[in-house]
Structure 1
């Protein structure tokens, strides 16, 4: 199925400065958001306790706040959780006495607010939260290093650098959106970012693979022309794949509920940004890095020469002439 006719070659590289400028604005805005507003770390990373409470009727949030202000949980933050009759009480820090059941305490404290059910109590100590945050950053770092090594081995170092720059572009903008919309950052967000990196690098490699194929067969010496042809050939495939994934993620975002909202929101933004970067940004970085068709063909010819020499020596050895 073709959405875009491959007979019409789109001159995307003629607009690469505009694409890179637009991406730079988004990245800089995201970094400013992350430095100024920061991230809303959940208990997975900040430590603390979450108590999920469901009422038979609409939750009396104002009354809950007034009651908790008179207790040791005066720093609690109360917010709706999906529906008006369900709330989440977030308590930062760790409890002083882990032998006490916070669920039992809340049953007593909230008794005057009406008929309710405590559905969930999650507690993470600050030390565990710090360890999870550190391990999450390590996971992101080592995944980027592994992708850099893989792409360098499969292609050429400029392809690897371009793909990693595109991944950093995707991750930064996705995290900027998380900060802008004050989405709670927990392990689900980390899983979404790692999923996004895998999805984006897969899309980028498909485009780069087509560029490499065309580099080997073309007589054109202008890299921009080869990239335009390659991206045009993969445009329908990239668009269809992204739309399919986006429909699924959108369903999770709008109908999946609060539990997976952070994961689906991050993926929703990431798929859009990752598709954009695979088509417009990664290839533009390749041009900016001064990739040379002549050098590429010379290296490929040298590899072919070495391979033929090895095959000839092996044949002579098998025939007993060496």
Structure 2
């Protein structure tokens, strides 16, 4: 596998996905969840499990995009999230319809409304967290290796974030606080794979100082490939299982993790190393 020779193909693939995603983002924006837009939250103790599809038959009359989750023991708690600002009468109608259809206590519920200001606070803190994490990682990698490695790793992380944004924009996946947690998790996971490959490049350069930069990168990636893929694959299998059998709250976290693991592995192999190659080559040519 010649990573360097085919680097333009990998770059074009990423650019196409990111471009389509950004176009969708600027045209339609994100499909923000209640955490960012504000809205109404209704929690009902049903005393039994009620399938989401059956609940949606009632909630669709008021909001077809409402999120329906289960909580509590035996999934006996029903959680309805809507980005709409339901009136008290609408909340009462939803609860009464469920109570009448499923013979539950229409007084055993609570509702809460959120304002959009909460979403701004979450977004600002998330951006600050990502910025701090990125700066600290750049400092560590530059100290542990060299600045070119750090810069290449950060560019690869930016690639991962943009791919995540593109996927969420294209498929209109709801963006909520779990998305932010997943982004931060993926940044750490992706940088780990990238450091493993960079460490191999550094070792190869010491063992074979006369080897060309292209061969160093290709050989290092080949020797790290099995470990990287096996690590990512085992993690991916675990997250996919969580997504399949988990409750709704777990699924909204598992989905971005699945996308992020695939993207992070791809960028560590096909994006970060070629970027370092280009930076290193430019420095060598400048020094001549």
Residue 49 in structure 1 maps to residue 37 in structure 2 = no
Q: What SS does the corresponding residue of 2:41 show, helix, strand or coil?
A: strand
Deviation at 1:191, TM superposition (A): 0.5
2:84 to 92, 102, 112: 92
How far apart are the structure 2 equivalents of 1:215 and 1:280?
19
Deviation at 1:144, TM superposition (A): 1.2
Q: 1:148 to 1:43 in 2, by over 3 A?
A: same
**1:33-79 Cα distance to aligned partner (Å, 9 max, x none):** 2222221212222222222556757636455454x5xxxxxx78545
Residue 132 in structure 1 maps to residue 127 in structure 2 = no
TM-score (norm 2): 0.82
Q: 1:111 to 1:162 in 2, by over 3 A?
A: same
Q: 1:290 to 1:92 in 2, by over 3 A?
A: same
Q: 1:120 to 1:110 in 2, by over 3 A?
A: same
Aligned to 2:12: 21
Q: 1:223 to 1:121 in 2, by over 3 A?
A: farther
TM-score (norm 1): 0.74
Residue 255 in structure 1 maps to residue 245 in structure 2 = yes
- Asked if the contact 1:63/1:113 (under 8 Å) is kept, the reply is no
**1:145-182 Cα distance to aligned partner (Å, 9 max, x none):** 11111111111111111111110111111122122222
- Asked if the contact 2:58/2:98 (under 8 Å) is kept, the reply is no
- Asked if the contact 1:64/1:110 (under 8 Å) is kept, the reply is no
Aligned to 2:25: 34
Mark the structure with the bigger radius of gyration: 1
RMSD: 3.2
Structure 2 segments unaligned to the other structure (5+ residues) = none
- Asked if the contact 1:51/1:121 (under 8 Å) is kept, the reply is yes
How far apart are the structure 2 equivalents of 1:182 and 1:227?
37
How far apart are the structure 2 equivalents of 1:183 and 1:119?
28
Aligned to 1:273: 263
Q: 1:284 to 1:116 in 2, by over 3 A?
A: farther
